[in-house]
Amino acid sequence: MPDKILFIASTFSHLLNFHQPYLQAFRDRGWEVHVVAGRVEHPIPQAHRQVHMPFQKSMTAPGNLRAAAQLRRQIQQEGYKIISVHTALASFFARMAVKGMRHRPFVLDIVHGYLFDDDTNAAKRTLLLAAEQLTAPETDLLAVMNQWDLQLAQTKHLGREVAYIPGMGVDYRRLDRCTREDGLAVRAKLGIPENALMMLYPAEFSARKNQAALLRAMPKLPKQAVLVLPGHGVLLEECKQQAQDLHIADRVFFPGQIADIAPWFVASDIAVSSSRSEGLPFNLAEAMHCGLPVAASAVKGQTDLVVSGETGLLYPYGDDAALVQALTQLIEDAPLRRRLGEAGRRRAEHFGLDAVYPQVMALYDRALAAVGAPVSTKS
């Protein structure tokens, strides 16, 4: 019988967006690949078996304890040699599921960004850090994606071994297939003139992503600037109302969830982010690869991608005046946009799939060696 590996995340979309090359790598090596996730179910082409687990968004929801118990039974029945866990909530309950097992699998926890930092309120920070410390003994190998998380994980000993990777690797091929005509078609669809300065921020509408700060900035920006906010989320309608109240609805576009964001980057002039915190933001790496200058909040994850003054402009999170200043500078200075964009394109290659895939597979090789399985023979 083939060896089995289990990939676990809070959502199937997460596995589709970040992990298909690694699922395929194990399949190619003859492993039986299983996946577990919650919320909306999507087919995972590389999985031999996929199981919907009823994870709930709140860490304290009773349903998550039931999910952990169900997951424990599955792990015991299937006899996985390795489990690869992702996203904070699923990662916590997966590691709780193996706690106390006499013969448990090797656990690789890839952290896509701790949901707290130095500025998080004390109660939330204490709770989330305690959850990581509680499950540290079950974490055989911990990998993080930004320097703040790395320092925390090493200082607090959040895994038996701690490693750094520059994300999961962004596959830029779909971006490279887009043409200028694809971008012009996006603008035409929205009714944005070719000479307008289009700022793009694709993100879930949530308090953490903080689109409200960008909306507050819009009345103070040059009139040729327009803001495009793809995505959905609990704060979408509130943001639409905010645009109406600020009398900027004619300069702000809410196109909803976009299946293929690639032509939207080609259509844009500036990439923006007002996020409260990130792991290593996929959307900014893609924007930089497309040659877009970036204006982003100086928070963990984003500071790992954007070098202020070289590949973009960073501003202190929560400083509306600094946000307006950074955006105005980019809008009014075309040579600056070109210089930052060209440097950003070069820097983005360090986070592309070609560069990162061997580094992530080296982590999996450590797991393979730990369970006595052959390591990969190709990068």
Instruction: Give CA separation, 298 vs 66, 197, 316, in Å.
Output: 38, 23, 5
pLDDT at 62: 85
Asked whether the domain spanning 173-351 has the same topology as the one spanning 4-169+354-370, the reply is yes
- Does the pLDDT of residue 378 top 70, yes or no? no
State the average pLDDT over residues 288-297. Answer: 98
CATH architecture of 173-351: 3-Layer(aba) Sandwich (3.40)
| Planar angle of CA 273, 205, 252, nearest 5 degrees | 70
- Does the pLDDT of residue 379 top 60, yes or no? no
Q: How many residues does the chain have?
A: 379
Q: Where do runs of H (alpha helix) occur along 111-218?
A: 122-135, 147-156, 173-176, 180-190, 211-217
pLDDT at 56: 85
Reported as a single tens digit per residue, the pLDDT across 104-136 is 999 999 999 999 998 899 999 999 999 999 999
- Does the pLDDT of residue 376 top 80, yes or no? no
Whether the CB-CB separation of 280 and 150 falls below 8 Å is answered with no
CA distance 153 to 163: 9
Give the closest residue to 11 by CA, choosing from 99, 107, 88: 88
3-state helix, strand, coil in the chain (%, to 5): 45, 15, 35
Q: What is the pTM of this model?
A: 0.91
The rounded percent of the chain whose pLDDT value lies above 90 is 92
State the average pLDDT over residues 35-47. Answer: 91
| Conformation bin of residue 200: beta by default, left when phi > 0, alpha when psi is -120 to 50 | beta
Could you tell me the residue ranges of all domains in the chain? Answer: 4-169+354-370, 173-351
Q: Tell which CATH classification among 3.40.50.2000, 3.40.50.2020, 3.30.750.24, 3.20.20.70 matches the domain 4-169+354-370.
A: 3.40.50.2000
Reported as a single tens digit per residue, the pLDDT across 57-102 is 888 788 899 999 999 999 999 999 999 999 999 999 999 999 999 9
Q: Which segment of 59-73, 78-92, 241-255, 329-343 scores lowest on mean pLDDT? A: 59-73
Give the closest residue to 253 by CA, choosing from 265, 243, 261: 243
Q: Which residue has the tokens 């106390």?
A: 100
**Does an H or E element contain 348, and which?**
helix 334-348
